[in-house]
Amino acid sequence: MPSYFTDLAQQYIDGQWRPGTGSWDIIDFNPYDGEKLASITIATVDEVDQAYRAAARVQKDWAATNAHARRTVFEKALRLVEEREAEIADVIIAELGGTRLKAAFELHLAKEFLRESIHLTLRLEGKILPSPVDGKENRVYRVPVGVVGVISPFNFPFLLSLKSVAPALALGNGVVLKPHQDTPVTGGSLVAKIFEDAGLPPGLLNVVITDIAEIGDAFVEHPVPKVISFTGSDRVGRHVATVCASHFKRSVLELGGNSAVVVLDDADLDYAVDAAVFSRYVHQGQVCMAANRIMVDRSVAEEFTGKFVAKVRSLKVGDPRDPETVIGPVINSTQAHAVSGAVEQAIAEGATALLHGATADNLVEPSVLTNLPADSSLLRQEVFGPVAFVIPFDGEEEAVRIVNDTPYGLSGAVHTADVERGVAFAQRIDTGMFHVNDGTVHDEPLVPFGGEKHSGIGRLNGETTLDAFTTLKWISVQHGRSGFPF
């Protein structure tokens, strides 16, 4: 594993591994023990330009390559991930503080999305549409957009980089990837290494490890990319969307959430507890789909809450390398302070701490809070850490109102003995995704993934990936002579 943080601590531009030429370094730390993993000299605006120009230069030849030949690259990339799975898991644990359970979860999904990218190479299908004009043939071609810029986050960096990079490449595009500065290897150079070893043509995929303090909006404003795929906070997403719109670019935005697990009066409480604990505390709660709010019908609230707190109390906190650990560190000290600050704010507002976790460095123990005032801002925002708000409600109407009372609309879940009651409930919630008798954290290659309201614009996966990374072109053919009015 050490070689990953030495050999890959570089920029990958136009098929070459090289240091950046910026005036400062990004220092990559292990969030659990503070070990310095790597020092990476940042990329400059000039290197961002070089990366985009390289992708543009080779993209047309790649798009013209036989789709069956392109497919072999993704087949090999999948084999490489399978062969290196144990090493990649160690990288995820070291750089993210992800537990072994989390690493396995991320790698499972990454392999599923690589499998889907194999099929996507053959999905650039066209249509012939009828015309009211005699002798006219209307051909509609689905073609690559050209070059895609991808900005990935720190929480599931390997998966969420691959989730845009692999389909964009499979559909004939070039890509420039900018990983989060806290996960430059897992979310950036490791992805480039996989595709380099899989035989992807040099220059087609580029990775620039940098920071907006150095490049400003250059990554988004650059004239080459036609689509920017961004995963991150709604605050930054709003800015990315604004810049894209001003430059007539398409943006695909996968942003934050404030999901709820809703437990109705007829739910299987033991099962609902298991689903709610996973939905809130997987990867320390650093998941956009995580359930910030645990909502329970008042008639079963006391029983559910007792079981929920007991299970949360049993979760082992500590070294993510230990297979028994469920909750490892959050990504950095800023995040740790933000999460502990949210707990203290809730208590100051009058909330009752059923479980009040301590914070030591980047280790934030889980907290469970209830009786938070209904007008608290904490109930309407994303808390990116291991903190759950338990909210009793009286009947479905009140539950629907509370669930929808947030600027976000990403995911959610409802538990009930009556599946159709659950589906009817789900249909009333303003989210892009909702699950009946399950958790809130799910992703699958064929289903449209994305949110409503402040949770994003656009969808990824399946058919929606085609819409994200391709465009349509109409070419008409007039057989015989057309008539003109003058």
Q: Is beta strand 435-436 parallel, antiparallel or unpaired with respect to 413-415?
A: parallel
**Beta strands 413-415; 36-41: pairing state:** unpaired
Query: In angstroms, rounded to a whole number, what is the distance separating the alpha carbons of residues 414 and 422?
Result: 6
Q: Kindly report the backbone phi and psi dihedral angles of residue 387, in degrees, each rounded to the nearest multiple of 5, phi listed first.
A: -130, 125
Q: 254 an active-site residue?
A: yes
Q: What angle do CA 155, 159, 165 make, to 5 degrees?
A: 120
Q: Are 256 and 410 in contact (CB under 8 A)?
A: yes
The string over 221-249, giving b where at least 16 C-beta atoms fall within 10 Å of a residue's C-beta and e elsewhere, is bbebbbbbbbbbbbebbeebbebbeeeeb
Report the C-alpha dihedral over residues 7, 11, 16, 18, rounded to 10 degrees: -70
Strands (E), 69-203: 127-129, 136-144, 147-151, 174-178
Any idea how long the chain is? 486
Nearest to 441 by CA among 232, 283, 330: 283
Burial readout 8-30 (b: 16 or more C-beta within 10 A, e: otherwise): bbbbbbbbebeebebeeebebbb
First-to-last alpha carbon distance for the chain, in angstroms, is: 73
Q: Report the distance separating Cα 88 and Cα 3, nearest Å.
A: 12
Sorted by sequence, the CB contacts under 8 Å of residue 16 that are 6+ apart come out as: 202
Is 288 annotated in the active site?
A: yes
* Residue 159 neighbours by CB under 8 Å, 6+ apart: 106, 107, 109, 110, 113
Catalytic residue among 254, 365, 382, 396: 254
Which of the residues 95, 116, 244, 288 is marked catalytic?
288
**Dihedral sign of CA atoms 396, 399, 404, 408 in order:** negative
Check: CB of residue 394 under 8 Å from CB of residue 298: yes
Which amino acids are annotated catalytic? 254, 288
